[in-house]
Amino acid sequence: MAHSQNPPVFTLAEARTIGQPIADPSNSTVLPARFGGGSLALLQDTLLIETLAHFNRERIPERVVHARAAAAWGEFEVTHDISHLTTAKFLNGIGKKTKVLQRISTVGGATGSAETVRDVRGFSVKFFTEEGNHDIVGNDIPVFFVRDPVKFPSLNRSHKKNPRSNTADETMFWDFHVNNQEGVHALMHLFGSRGIPASLRNINGFGVHTYKLVAVDGSFKYCKFHFKPIGGVQNMSPEDAAKNAGENADYHTADLFNAIENGDYPVWTLYVQVMEPKVAETYPVNIFDITKTWPHKDFPLLPVGNMTLNKNPHNYFEDVEQAAFSPSNMVPGISVTPDPMLQARMFAYPDAQRYRLGVNYQQLASNRALSRVYTPYERDGAASFNGNYGGEPNYVRSDFTVAKPGQKSIEHDEWAGGKVGIHEIPVSDADFAQATELWNIFGTQPGEQEGFVKNVAGAIQDIPKKLQEGTIAMFSKVHPDIGRKLQAELNSAGKISASAQSQESARSYQLIFDVQVSQDRTGIFVAARPLTPIGIVSGERCGGPRASLPAPTVFTGRPLRGTLVISHDKRQEDVFDVVQLTLQGEVQSIIRLSSGSYCKIKKPLILMSSVKVANEFEQIDAEDPHTVTYQTEFFFDIPDFTTLPSSHGNNTPKRLPPSMRVVKSDFISAATAEIHNSGSIAGTCDVTYKIAACVFAGGRLKSDASREIILMPIEDKPPPLEPEDFGKEYRLVGATSLRPSWGLRKSLMVVVSSMEPRPLTFSNREEGCESTEVLLHLKTEGLSDGNKSRSSDVFFSGRAKGSYVNGRGTAISVGCVEEDKVRNK
C-alpha cells in the first residue's frame, strides 16, 4: 500500500460530509450498555448496516466453466515480424511491446477447488493493443472434445458434479464420451502425462480454432496460434497431484504467484501455423473441426514473439475475477472463420459476462481497452462509469456526432457457403486417426503409454460395466493395444471390465465341466476353474434385512465378481453392520464298489471368506419408496486347486480312493469316475459350489442368501498352498470379539478377510485335524461399528490356527498373543 505520505482515514462508502470520520470501524453504535452486557443496535448506524449489507453482496456468479484460475499481468514482445501475413499492429514490428493479462484455469472445478487435478487448463490471454483488445481464449491441449456447440453445456455438465449427489462422477464423464466419440483425440491428451501440469508456468497454450490472418491487401491465410513455454512442458505424477491437492488446494496459484514475486518470470513464445485457403479446400483434415490438429510437418510453427508474465494482480477480485476474456475480442488483421464452435463462443462469452459482471463489464479495470473506445450507441445500463458519452447523440446517422466511420472490415470468404441445415459430421475412422498418431508418439517416450493406460484404467475402474466396455471399445479403435492393456490393468486391479465379461460369460454358459482330482502326501487336490451363476436363493430372518446376490455380471480368468444387495424397511435403523460372504464347495461322489454296493462321499471343497463392513456399501435407488437399498461389490480369487479335508464322519472313508479320476462329461455338474485299484469300478462325481452371504447386526445373524455356481476347466495344476503363503497382510474384521480379550492374553477368535483377496485355506497336515498353524500379521483398518468407524490401527502377531468354522467363513483362532507384539497406532 503506497499511502505512507498521506494515509487515508476510515470513512463510510460515501464519505461523511456531516459528523465525524469513522474513528473505529470495529464498533457499532448502540444504546448504552445495561447490566454489564450488550445493548440495542440502531438503524441509524450506517457503518453497521453498510458493512453487513455489502458483505452480503460480495459474491458474483463464478464462471460457469473455468471458474478456478491463477492470473498475472505481463508483456508481449514481437521477435519476428509477420506484417506480410496480418495487419494486426500488435504482431508487427520487431520489438513492439503490448501489455497482456493472462489467466490460466482448470475447467470443471469451482472457484475454491483443488488445482492439481487431471483437467484441461484454460489459457486466456488479453492483449491490450493500440487497436483495442485482442483475446486468445484457448486451452493447454490443441484439440477439443466436441465440434458442435450445442453439445458444449452437456460436455461440461458431464465433467462436473452429479446433480443428485453433488460429487464427481466418472460414470457421467465416460457416458458422455463413449456416446460422443469425436472427443477421443482430446481424451488421449487429457489422460496422457500432460493431463496434470507440474506448474502453470510449464504448459502449452493453443488457440485451438482456425482463425484468419488478413494482410494489408485483403488476402488472408488460415492460421492457428500456439504458445510454448520457454522452460518446456513439465508434468506432475498422479500421486504427487493427489498429495498436493490434499495439502494445498492453491498449489498452482501459489507457484505462479511466488515465481513472479521472486522475479522468476515465466515466458512463452507465440507461434503461428499458416495454411493457404486453396490448400484448405483439399486438405484431408477439416480445418473448422476443432477435434483435429494441423500436422507440424505440413504446417511448421513460425515464431512471432515472446510473452512474459512479470506482475502479479494487485487485487485478485478486481484484476482476475472481473476479467472478461472472449474470442469475440479481435483486432483488425485477425478474423473469424466458419468454425461453428468459434461462432458460438463469440456469442457465449460476452453473454456470460453481461450476466456475471453486468452490462458495462467492458468498463471494468481489467477489461478497459488502452486504445480509445467510442460506442455512443452502447450507453447507460447498470454501473456505467465511463462518462456515458455526455450529450453525444444516442442514435445512429446523426449530423452532430463527433465520431468518424472506421475502416470496413474484410468480407467473409465464400468457401463456407452452401445451404444452411443440420450438417452433422458423423464420427468416423478419421476421428481416430490423429488419436492413433498420438498413441504412437506416446510410444516413443518411456512410460508414456503405460501411464496413459493406468490413468484411464483408474478413471474407469468403478464405472458401470457396460460403460467400461464402451470405453475400452472406444480406445481399442484408437489402437487395439490400448484396449488390451486397459483390460489387463483392470484385471490386475481386480476391476474386471465388461468386455472380458461378454467373452467369458459366453464361454461359461457352455456348461462344460472338467475337474481333475489327484493326491499327494498332503492331501487330495481338485483342480478346477470356475464359474457361472445358475441360481439364486434369498432368505430373510426375524423380519430383518433382505439380502440377495444378483447374478455376477463379470467373469474373467479366476476371480469371481459379484454384487451383494441388502434392502430393508426405511423405518429400521442399524439393521446390519457386517456381512460375511463365503464361497463353499462340495464334492459328492457315488462310487460303485467291487462288492456291488455304492459308497456316497460328500466332501467340503473350497471355503473362502470375505467380510464386508457396513461402510463399504453404497446406497442405491430403491424402486419402493419405503425401502432403503444398499449394495457392494465383492470378489473371490478362486484357487486353481484345493486340498480336500480327509475327515468326514465315521461312515465314509477318510480318503477318497487314491486313483480316482474324474473325466470330462458333457452334462452339467456330473462326471464319470473310474476306480482303478479295485477293478475299474465306475462312479460319478458331482461338484457344487455356492456363495453365501450372512448378514449380521450386533453379532446376530439377521439374514442370509446364497447362490450356486459351477466350475470351468483348468489347464495347469499349480502347486498346493503352504503355510508360508500366508505371510501377507490380512484385514481384521470382528473387532468386537477382539476387544475384550486384549488384557487377557488368551487365545481369541478373530475373523479375517484377505485384502488381496486370497483364500484362507489350510493344508491338511494332521490326520483328522482340519487346521494348521501359521503366523499371521493382522491389522484393523477403519473398523465399522454400525455407522461409526473406528480408525485405530492395531498390529499384532501371534501363532494363528486356521480352521473352517460352521461353514460360514474362515475363522482364525489366534493363540497366546503376546502383549509386547500388540501396539496401537
- By CB under 6 A, name the one of 72, 136, 348, 778 that touches ligand HEM: 348
How far, in Å, CA of 783 to CA of 613, rounded? 8
How far, in Å, CA of 156 to CA of 286, rounded? 24
Annotated catalytic residue, options 66, 134, 209, 568? 66
Contact region for ligand HEM (CB under 6 A) — 135-143, 157-165, 258-266, 637-645?
135-143
Q: Does 325 bind ligand HEM (CB under 6 A)?
A: yes
**190, burial (CB in 10 Å: exposed 0-12, middle 13-18, buried 19+):** buried
Contact region for ligand HEM (CB under 6 A) — 60-68, 77-85, 281-289, 663-671?
60-68
How far, in Å, CA of 643 to CA of 329, rounded? 76
Q: Could you please report the per-residue DSSP string of 393-423?
A: -SSSS-TT------PPPPPPPGGG-S--S--
- By CB under 6 A, name the one of 345, 465, 485, 568 that touches ligand HEM: 345
Residue closest to ligand HEM (Cβ): 122
Contact region for ligand HEM (CB under 6 A) — 348-356, 428-436, 594-602, 681-689?
348-356
- By CB under 6 A, name the one of 72, 203, 270, 341 that touches ligand HEM: 341
**644: three-class secondary structure by DSSP:** strand
Residue 70 C-beta: closest distance to ligand HEM, Å? 10
CB nearer ligand HEM, residue 150 or residue 402: 150
Contact region for ligand HEM (CB under 6 A) — 344-352, 389-397, 471-479, 561-569?
344-352
Residues ≥6 apart with Cβ < 8 Å to 501: 465, 469, 553, 554, 555, 556
- By CB under 6 A, name the one of 168, 242, 336, 344 that touches ligand HEM: 344
Residue 137 C-beta: closest distance to ligand HEM, Å? 5
Q: Does 137 bind ligand HEM (CB under 6 A)?
A: yes
**Site map 283..302 versus ligand HEM, x via CB under 6 A:** -------x------------
Residue 463 C-beta: closest distance to ligand HEM, Å? 25
CB nearer ligand HEM, residue 180 or residue 610: 180
Contact region for ligand HEM (CB under 6 A) — 63-71, 82-90, 641-649, 678-686?
63-71
Please say if 310 is a catalytic residue. no
C-alpha cell at 375: 460506442
C-alpha cell at 289: 473441426
CB nearer ligand HEM, residue 290 or residue 628: 290
Q: Does 139 bind ligand HEM (CB under 6 A)?
A: yes
C-alpha cell at 566: 441388502
How far, in Å, CA of 206 to CA of 142, rounded? 5
Q: Positive or negative, the Cα torsion across 643, 647, 649, 650?
A: positive
- By CB under 6 A, name the one of 356, 529, 541, 592 that touches ligand HEM: 356
β-strand pairing of 773-779 with 729-732: parallel
Q: Does 136 bind ligand HEM (CB under 6 A)?
A: no
Residue 132 C-beta: closest distance to ligand HEM, Å? 18
Residue 462 C-beta: closest distance to ligand HEM, Å? 29
Q: How far is CA 797 from CA 338, 492, 753, 801, 816, in A?
A: 71, 29, 16, 12, 10
Q: Could you please report the per-residue DSSP string of 736-770?
A: HHHGGGTTTTS-EEEEEEESS---------STT--
CB nearer ligand HEM, residue 349 or residue 636: 349
**154: three-class secondary structure by DSSP:** helix
Instruction: Calculate the dihedral angle through the C-alpha atoms of 127, 128, 130, 136, rounding to the nearest 10 degrees.
Output: 30
- The number of residues that bind ligand HEM (CB under 6 A) is 28
Residue 393, amino acid: P
CB nearer ligand HEM, residue 347 or residue 509: 347
Q: Does 63 bind ligand HEM (CB under 6 A)?
A: yes
β-strand pairing of 205-206 with 523-527: unpaired
Q: Does 349 bind ligand HEM (CB under 6 A)?
A: yes
Contact region for ligand HEM (CB under 6 A) — 85-93, 349-357, 443-451, 741-749?
349-357
How far, in Å, CA of 483 to CA of 460, rounded? 12
- Note whether 153 and 146 are within 8 A (CB): no
C-alpha cell at 436: 492413433
Q: Does 68 bind ligand HEM (CB under 6 A)?
A: no
CB nearer ligand HEM, residue 342 or residue 692: 342
How far, in Å, CA of 726 to CA of 754, rounded? 10
DSSP classification of residue 659: T
How far, in Å, CA of 663 to CA of 670, rounded? 10
Contact region for ligand HEM (CB under 6 A) — 52-60, 227-235, 341-349, 407-415?
341-349
**37: three-class secondary structure by DSSP:** coil
Q: Does 138 bind ligand HEM (CB under 6 A)?
A: yes
Residue 322, amino acid: Q
Residue 341 C-beta: closest distance to ligand HEM, Å? 5
Q: Does 124 bind ligand HEM (CB under 6 A)?
A: yes
CA-based nearest residue to 533, from 398, 686, 712: 712
**Site map 196..235 versus ligand HEM, x via CB under 6 A:** ------------x---------------------------
Contact region for ligand HEM (CB under 6 A) — 339-347, 740-748, 775-783, 812-820?
339-347
Q: Positive or negative, the Cα torsion across 55, 61, 65, 69?
A: negative
Q: Does 65 bind ligand HEM (CB under 6 A)?
A: yes
Q: How far is CA 6 from CA 3, 11, 612, in A?
A: 5, 15, 69
CB nearer ligand HEM, residue 350 or residue 544: 350
Q: Does 103 bind ligand HEM (CB under 6 A)?
A: yes
In angstroms, what is the C-alpha Rg of the chain?
A: 36
What are the phi and psi torsion angles at 12 (to 5°)? Answer: -75, 170
Residue 105 C-beta: closest distance to ligand HEM, Å? 5
How far, in Å, CA of 568 to CA of 574, rounded? 10
Residue 358 C-beta: closest distance to ligand HEM, Å? 12
**705: three-class secondary structure by DSSP:** strand
Contact region for ligand HEM (CB under 6 A) — 177-185, 215-223, 338-346, 407-415?
338-346
- Note whether 354 and 381 are within 8 A (CB): no
- By CB under 6 A, name the one of 136, 186, 287, 324 that touches ligand HEM: 324
Q: Could you please report the per-residue DSSP string of 60-86?
A: -PPPSSS-SEEEEEEEEEESS--TTT-
Q: Does 730 bind ligand HEM (CB under 6 A)?
A: no
CA-based nearest residue to 589, from 713, 710, 712, 687: 687
Q: Does 141 bind ligand HEM (CB under 6 A)?
A: no
CB nearer ligand HEM, residue 353 or residue 610: 353
Residue 352 C-beta: closest distance to ligand HEM, Å? 4
Annotated catalytic residue, options 133, 139, 180, 360? 139
C-alpha cell at 109: 472445478
Please say if 66 is a catalytic residue. yes
Residue 291 C-beta: closest distance to ligand HEM, Å? 10
- By CB under 6 A, name the one of 12, 152, 233, 550 that touches ligand HEM: 152
Catalytic residues: 66, 139
Interface positions with ligand HEM (CB under 6 A): 63-66, 69, 103, 105, 122, 124, 137-139, 144, 149, 152, 208, 290, 323-325, 341, 344-345, 348-349, 352-353, 356
